Each structure stands twice: as C-alpha cells, then as structure tokens.
Amino acid sequence: MQGRLTRTDVEAAREDLKNRTLASIGLKLGRLLYLASTRDYSTGRYYHDGLTFHFSEEVAGKALAEAHREEFIGLALGPLEDLVDQLQRYLRSVGAEPEEIFRAWEKLEPYRVAIPIDCEPLTASLFLANVKIALAIVESRQQAAR
C-alpha cells in the first residue's frame, strides 16, 4: 500500500515538474541538460528545492531521475536530424561565439554529464556518437554560412 502511495506521489511530482519547470524550457536538449544539472555529480542524487517543498526529498529525487531518463532516451534513440536541430538551436541560445562553443564542446565534451547513471552503456555510446556527428554537422553549416 505504501509503495502504491509513493508511486502516486512520484507521478504527482513529475506532473508538477513538467508543468511548472520543464514547460518553460522549449528545447528537448535544454530540458535534458537542465535535468542533468539537478543531479549531484558526487552522489548521483537529484535535488530540486521547489519539488522537495511540495513533496519529499525522496519523491522529488525519483521524479527528477525518471524525467531525466525519459528525456535522455527520447533524444538518444530519436532521429539524428532531430538532435542536429536541437543542438543548433541550443548553441544559438547560448549566445557565445560559435567557434568558442565548438572548441569547448569538442574538447571538454560537457554533454557527457547528460547521461543518466543507470543508462544502458550502448545507448549512452549512441548518444555520445550522435552528439559528435551533430556537432560536426552544425559546425560545417556554420562554416558554409560564413
């Protein structure tokens, strides 16, 4: 009974997260990076003050982890064309010099933090490979536009 109650709480927390926070982030890639940023890199736990205020820390953490996983799977297993479009729009929204962003993304690979902890390794590899290819496409489009 308690398990069912917790599940309902998690569902309610996910709905709250979707309507209040994620709805304001238009890009799927933006939502993914935002959800990944709510995770403590040392422990892998997710934190969100607003959600914790309305629900418990445990429920908020589970809702964030599930939303993160769902958003990740959608992008990782989705069409490459979609990822290229997302990346192009995301990089434009950052507002920095394109060359600077490309160099940082290629060298530092900040998108690695977007991978959920319990992700199947080959799906994670596909995501990393797709981002590399998408980055090369966006970069070549930028060069062609100049």
Applying CB under 8 A, the residues found at the interface with another protein are: 77, 79-81, 84, 120, 122-123, 125-126, 129, 132-133, 136-137, 140
Nearer to another protein by C-beta: 95 or 121?
121
State the nearest-atom distance from the C-beta of 145 to another protein, in Å: 14
Nearer to another protein by C-beta: 15 or 120?
120
Give the distance, in angstroms, between the CA of residue 109 and the centroid of all CA atoms in the same chain: 14
State the nearest-atom distance from the C-beta of 82 to another protein, in Å: 10
State the nearest-atom distance from the C-beta of 10 to another protein, in Å: 22
| Residue whose C-alpha is closest to residue 12's, from 51, 57, 68 | 51
Cα–Cα distance measured from residue 142 to residue 19, given in angstroms and rounded to the nearest whole number: 35
Nearer to another protein by C-beta: 55 or 105?
105
